[in-house]
Every structure is written in structure tokens, then in C-alpha cells.
Structure 1
Amino acid sequence: MPDPTGIATKMRDTKQFVRRLIRTAGKTYAEQSGIRLKDKPMPLFQLLVLAMLASKPIGADVAANAARQLSKAGMRTPRAVLSGDRQKVIAAFGRAGYARYDESSATRLCDMARRVQDEYDGDLRNLGVRCGQDPRRAAEELMKFNGIGPTGADVFLREVQVVWPWVRPHFDDKAIAAARELHLPTAPSDLAALAPRSNAQLAAALVRVSLDDELRDEVMRSSVSER
């Protein structure tokens, strides 16, 4: 069928670009941290820890590595954190290059674990129940945790939409800004429609290219070379 306006062709090109973007930069930070994200208490707590670590003014890769090192040290559940050795936590941060924030983050990790235990019965799925599966209310609940502000709440919601469908689509300000620079739609619903089964991966890819000029250039070069 003729496409005199070129709309269909442009849409196909946009979807192809988004697929390349996800293929090149769409690894989520949960995946990078070694978190096998499921709608279960342990991986949700691990994601909360990652969100807290990523809230610091430090590279996202360092935060992801710190979360991985904590997991390797056995700090995967609130109970493990509360009964664990603080020095083991600090050593894990040191291995990840997170030493600048080790003491304060160790304290916040314990505070967070205690809050999850006391207020959510050790299960963050109860956060969804408490907020009525409302993403805005979920962000407010997340920001009640010591060490998690708007950035940390966005990290958690951006990643958890893989297993919490009621959060979708979640594209934070960084993702939206990157979408604008890449000449993609900026409405979350329109972005979601370009990758209906990969909202979290697209959001992660947009954030990654917003933080890494070389990665952004790689995405653009691959786009030109495949035309």
C-alpha cells in the first residue's frame, strides 16, 4: 500500500533504531548487578539496595558493582544484613571502589533492612499493596527509606517495571531527556509503544546513553551504518 506521507516508513525506521538502541545499551542495572529480578522478596530487596547505592553522586557502574559485591558477601536479604558483619559490608564497598561512602551507606543499608523487616514484613511486594499499585505513591513510599531520594526511587521503579506491570511505563527525566536528544517521542506511552515488551530495557538504554557520550556515539554510528 502506498505511503505518500512517509509516516509508516518513519515509524519502521524509528522502531529499528529503538531495537538497535536496546541491543547496544539496553542492559538493565539490575542485570549488571547480577540481580535475577523476580517478583519475590530477595531480588526486590537487592534492587532496593541498588537504588540506594545509585542515589550517591557516583558512577552507575560503581553502584552496580557495589550491589554485586554485597550480594557475593551474602547480604541479599534484610535478615542477612541485620545479622551480618558491618566490616564485611564495608569490605564489599571497598572492592567495588565505593569506599568514599562506605560508612554512611553501611548505616543506611542497616536502616533500610530494618524498615523492610518492620514495615513490610520483610517483603517489598507489600509496598505495592500499601500504595494501591499507584506509581506516584510507590515513589513516595520509596523515598521514606533513609538514603533514597527522587533519583533512587526512579532507579527502583525504572527497573522493577520488568516484574511489576502496574509501574509501566516508567521513563524518568533522564530517559525522557535522552529520548528528546535522539529525536524519539518523549511521552512515556509513546516510548513504551516502541518497545512494548522491553520498557525497562529501553529506559535503561536511554539513561546509559545520557551518561556515556561514547556509547551514544556508538548507537548513532550503528544507526547510520545499517541504513
Structure 2
Amino acid sequence: MPERREHDFDAQVDTVTHAYGSLPLSGTPIGEIGGMKSTPDTVLAMVIDAMVKSRPISHQLAQSTICGLINNDYHKIEKLSGTTWEERTDLLRQVGYNRYREQCATNLGNLSEFVLNNYDGDLNNLLETAHGDREEIRALVKEIKGVGDLGVELFLDNVQSVWPSVAPFVDSRSLRTAEELGMGSDVHAIYSKLQKDPVAMSKFVNGLSEIRLEKKQPELEEM
């Protein structure tokens, strides 16, 4: 690309990643630990995150719901599998998740059964079953009730930070945002700019989501 356009592209990618981006599960106890690792708890939390955020609710409510679930250890398969539907429903009510509360409580119960019955309580075994192939991972994750096409994309956005074979990935909504901002849709070019760092790629995607959800207009000068 011409030198000027290349400079703008580099500046935009940097701005989205560092000024607007955030690590997966940011704002939760897991996100605050630092250093993303593919522990069973982290990967399960990413599925729960995708399940909640794929519903048509506000960004703020989704975030507070995820924090509430993680604060109560629902990202730990031992804890989640030991809860009753009534307990899950009551916790969702406490965190203000009302419109889809009963369905979400059911989906969380189904999720624990799915992980235990199919992957011995650890979704990292799903990665092994898929041989690290992104499209196979997509198909297997879609088997989880309550995680549709959008939920799978949101999961892939985040899990690439701990499952590098998924990278580079940008969900379809965020890719449209990148195009609207003038960065185009060449995911591999963006990944190269980020030194092929899967964690940075995940931060970049979350930055695009922040811009879209909060209707922000990034300024190159911010960097």
C-alpha cells in the first residue's frame, strides 16, 4: 500500500489495540490475574462470556453479569456442575440479568453437563479433539446449547489469546467496524502488524467491539 496509507493503517491498528483494546475477561478476577493461560477455568469463563454477550442486552449488563458469575466461581466446573437451576436463577436475578434469566440458568446447566460428559471437565480437550483446527473448533463449540453463531465468534475472539492456533480471528461484526474505520478486512495484515501476537490480536478485536458498542470515533493522535 502507499506509504501514507500504510502509516495510517499502522497507526489505526495501534490505536484500536492499545487505546481501546482490553484483555479477554477484563474487569473480572480472571482478567486481573495477568498473563492469559489456557486453564480449564479460563476457557470455561470464555464460553460463559460468549453465551451472555451474544444475547441482545446492554454491554454494561453483560459485563456485570459475567463478573457476578465469575465472582461466584461459576467458571469452575466443579462449582457450576454442583448448582441447581434455582440457585443459578437466583444468582442471575441478583446481578440484574432478568430478561433471559431462566433460559440462561438452563443453558449454564447444560454447559456443565456438556463439558463433563464430552470433555472430562476441561474444554482444552475440545481443542485436542479438533486438532487445533479453527473450523473444527467452531463446529464443536456450536454444539453447546445457548451458543449460536455469534456466540461462537465471540468465543473465538477471546480464546485465540490462549489457543494460538485459532489466531488470527476477527468476528464478523468487528471486521465490519475495521472496514468502516478504513483498515480494510485483511485479517492477516492486521496480525502481521501486531507481530503475530495472538494476545494482541484478541485485544485488537475487543478494541473494535468497544468502539462499536460505545459508538466511539478513534483519533490517531491518541497514540
TM-score by length of structure 2 reads: 0.88
Counterpart in the other structure of 1:93: 92
CA deviation after TM superposition for structure 1 residue 9, in Å: 4.1
1:209 — aligned with what? Answer: 211
Residues 28 and 71, structure 2, Cα contact 8 Å, conserved in 1: no
- Structure 1 residues 27 and 96: CA distance shift in structure 2, 3 A: farther
Between Structure 1 and Structure 2, whose CA radius of gyration is higher? 1
SS in 2 for 1:89: helix
> SS of 2:74's equivalent?
coil
Deviation at 1:189, TM superposition (A): 0.7
Q: Distance in 1 between matches of 2:55 and 2:11?
A: 34
Equivalent positions of 1:31-42 (< 5 A) are 31-36=26-31, 37-42=36-41
Q: Structure 1 residue 132: deviation in Å?
A: 1.6
Is contact 1:15–1:194 with CA below 8 Å preserved after alignment?
A: yes
For structure 2, which runs of at least 5 residues remain unmatched after alignment?
none
Deviation at 1:29, TM superposition (A): 4.6
Given the alignment, which residue of 10, 19, 27 partners 1:15?
A: 10
Could you tell me whether the CA contact under 8 Å between 1:142 and 1:148 is conserved in 2? yes
Structure 1 runs of 4+ with >6 Å offset: none
In structure 2, what residue type is equivalent to 1:91? D
Q: Provide the aligned C-alpha RMSD in A.
A: 2.0
**Is the contact made by 1:41 and 1:124 (CA closer than 8 Å) also made in structure 2?**
yes
1:178 partnered with 2:173: no
| One-letter code aligned to 1:54 | K
The aligned residue for residue 24 of structure 1 is 19
Q: Are residue 77 (structure 1) and residue 76 (structure 2) matched?
A: yes
Identity of aligned residues (%): 23
8 Å contact from structure 1 (residues 90, 99) kept in 2: no
Cα deviation for residue 45 of structure 1 reads 0.9
Q: Is the CA contact 1:21–1:202 (under 8 Å) kept in the aligned structure 2?
A: yes
Farther-moved stretch of structure 1 (79-88 vs 145-154): 79-88
SS for the counterpart of 1:99 is coil
CA distance in 2, matches of 1:74, 1:201: 24
1:13-55 C-alpha deviation (Å, 9 max, x unpaired) = 3212221222222014511344344211111111111111112
Partner of 1:191: 190
In the TM superposition, residue 85 of structure 1 has moved relative to its aligned partner by: 4.4
Task: Give the structure 1 partner of residue 145 of structure 2.
Answer: 146
Q: Judge conservation of contact 1:54–1:152 (CA < 8 Å) in 2.
A: yes
